[in-house]
């Protein structure tokens, strides 16, 4: 079986999770993996509500102590164990993760949209405790160490999706792009 691997890079609120939902709805068998899964699991042991800033701090600490590839090791294990033909790895944040997905034969998709629209979407979704923040605080969080390389990595992506339309527009783009892989 040949596995198709898609790596998703995009700023917070750009539409990565929606892309994954659309892919799950339209393709089977499929698995989605987030680089942040291990972080969420660890933080969930201690806190009922998880904040993006806590995920950023934990990721930085783990990378400082265990190496830049620490989250990749968890993702690689899931990819190798998966029997699914389509694997989407969501949340590429650093160049090493980009290179890792490329080395595994993956295609990188960059989903992007302007910061103001991302902030408005994040406030509505209420995924994390710190989603409902001022625009200024959103931009501050958005400029953290774990977010700095996203745009640069996105410029090297195989496919760029400008998520400026509605969900139906993104669904049409997603289905077409995955079929064309």
Instruction: State the CB neighbour count (10 A cutoff) for residue 26.
Output: 13
pTM: 0.85
| pLDDT grade for 174, boundaries at 50, 70 and 90 | very high
| Confidence at residue 130, expressed as pLDDT on a 0 to 100 scale | 61
| Confidence at residue 30, expressed as pLDDT on a 0 to 100 scale | 95
Split into its structural domains, the chain has a count of 1
Report in angstroms the alpha-carbon separations of 72 from 23, 66, 99, 129, 136. Answer: 22, 11, 10, 26, 31
> Which two tokens mark 76?
């690689």
**CATH number of domain containing 49:** 3.40.50.300
* Residues spanned by the domain of 106: 4-179
| Confidence at residue 127, expressed as pLDDT on a 0 to 100 scale | 67
- Mean pLDDT check: name the lowest of 15-29, 46-60, 66-80, 114-128: 114-128
Residue 93 has pLDDT above 70, yes or no: yes
The percentage of the chain sitting over the pLDDT mark of 70, rounded to a whole number, equals: 96
Residue 65 has pLDDT above 80, yes or no: yes
Burial class (CB in 10 A: 0-12, 13-18, 19+), 119: buried
Residue 62 has pLDDT above 70, yes or no: yes
| Confidence at residue 82, expressed as pLDDT on a 0 to 100 scale | 93
Average model confidence (pLDDT) across the chain: 91
Compute the average pLDDT of residues 21-36.
Answer: 94
CA neighbor of 15 nearest in space, from 120, 157, 98 = 120
């Amino acid at each position: 079986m040949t596995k198709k691997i898609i790596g998703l890079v995009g700023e917070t609120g750009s539409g990565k999770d929606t892309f994954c939902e659309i892919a799950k709805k339209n393709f089977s068998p499929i698995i989605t993996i987030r680089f942040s899964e291990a972080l969420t699991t660890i933080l969930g042991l201690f806190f009922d509500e998880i904040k993006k800033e806590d995920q950023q701090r934990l990721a930085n600490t783990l990378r400082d102590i265990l190496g830049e590839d620490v989250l990749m090791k968890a993702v690689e294990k899931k990819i190798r164990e998966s029997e699914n033909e389509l694997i989407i790895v969501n949340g590429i944040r650093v160049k090493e993760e980009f290179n890792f997905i490329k080395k595994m034969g993956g295609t990188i998709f960059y989903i992007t949209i302007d910061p103001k629209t991302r902030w408005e979407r994040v406030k509505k979704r209420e995924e994390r405790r710190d989603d409902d923040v001022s625009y200024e605080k959103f931009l501050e969080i958005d400029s953290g160490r774990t977010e700095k390389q996203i745009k640069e990595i996105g410029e090297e992506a195989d496919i760029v999706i400008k998520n400026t339309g509605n969900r139906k527009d993104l669904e049409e783009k997603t289905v077409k792009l995955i079929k064309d892989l």
